[in-house]
Amino acid sequence: MTPIHFNTHIGKLEHLMGTHYLEIPAEVVQVLGGKFNVRLLVTVNNALTYQGGIVALGQGRGYITLTKQRLKELGLKEGSPATVTLTKDESQYGTPVPEELTELFRQDDEGKARFDQLKPGMQRYIIQHVAAVKSSQLRIDRSITLIENLKRLKVGQETFREILGLEERKL
């Protein structure tokens, strides 16, 4: 994929807890194949690059979320203009894998095989949940807990709650 460059602005989705985002114009979505299931490297103002994916916004447009920390690093706020470059994310999972989880996979063939059976979004969920804590020991503990829970679940019927070790919600 050839890098795609465009100008946009910072928006805010009040119904999603005030999430900030980069609006992706419909013509850019079309260049990406008109689909929203593509993982990308997102570069903002030639200053910050991160991994992300496009979510449908309506009328053919999409958006990529922008955390408060990234906004602060860039010195941007709601309404600010931004220059964006999108390139295809060629990484295996579309997000960095913590070394503690990688090490667990080296030691637990069954756990790694089970993880490989998950859909990419579920894999990213596990990776990001492990990476979300600063302590290496907590990353080890989370890795073990999630993979042990996963190994007990039926293939194709896993839920985030069950992988976390929580009961399914009753309707």
pLDDT attached to residue 90: 85
Q: What per-residue string of b and e applies to 43-68 under the rule 16 or more CB within 10 Å gives b?
A: bbeeeeebbbbbeebeeebbbbbbee
* C-alpha neighbours within 13 Å on the C-beta side of residue 60: 10
Q: Which pLDDT band holds residue 127 (cuts at 50, 70, 90)?
A: very high
**Does residue 150 lie within any of the structural domains?**
yes
Q: How far apart are the first and last CA of the chain?
A: 44
pLDDT attached to residue 24: 95
Asked whether residue 116 falls in the same domain as residue 82, the answer is no
Measured CA distances, 135 to 26, 95, 131 (Å): 41, 19, 9
Query: For residues 102 and 156, what is the distance between their CA atoms, to the nearest angstrom?
Result: 23
CATH of the domain at 25: 2.40.30.100
Asked whether residue 80 falls in the same domain as residue 39, the answer is yes
Residue 96 in this model has a pLDDT that exceeds 90: no
pLDDT attached to residue 153: 93
Asked whether residue 81 falls in the same domain as residue 103, the answer is no
Residue 15 in this model has a pLDDT that exceeds 90: no
Q: Which of 88, 120, 150 is the last residue of a domain?
A: 88
Instruction: Indicate whether this model's pTM tops 0.75.
Output: no
Query: How many domains, the chain?
Result: 2
**Does residue 55 lie within any of the structural domains?**
yes
pLDDT digits (tens, 9 = 90+) for 97-123: 999 999 999 999 999 999 999 998 899
Q: Which domain holds residue 155?
A: 99-164
Amino acid at 15: H
Q: Which residue has the higher pLDDT, 95 or 69?
A: 69
pLDDT attached to residue 126: 95
Asked whether residue 84 falls in the same domain as residue 8, the answer is yes
pLDDT digits (tens, 9 = 90+) for 22-48: 999 999 999 998 888 788 999 999 999
Average pLDDT over the chain, rounded to an integer: 92
Asked whether residue 27 falls in the same domain as residue 84, the answer is yes
Number of H helices, E strands in the chain: 7, 7
**Secondary structure class of 163 (helix, strand, coil):** helix
Query: For residues 55 and 52, what is the distance between their CA atoms, to the nearest angstrom?
Result: 10
**Does residue 25 lie within any of the structural domains?**
yes
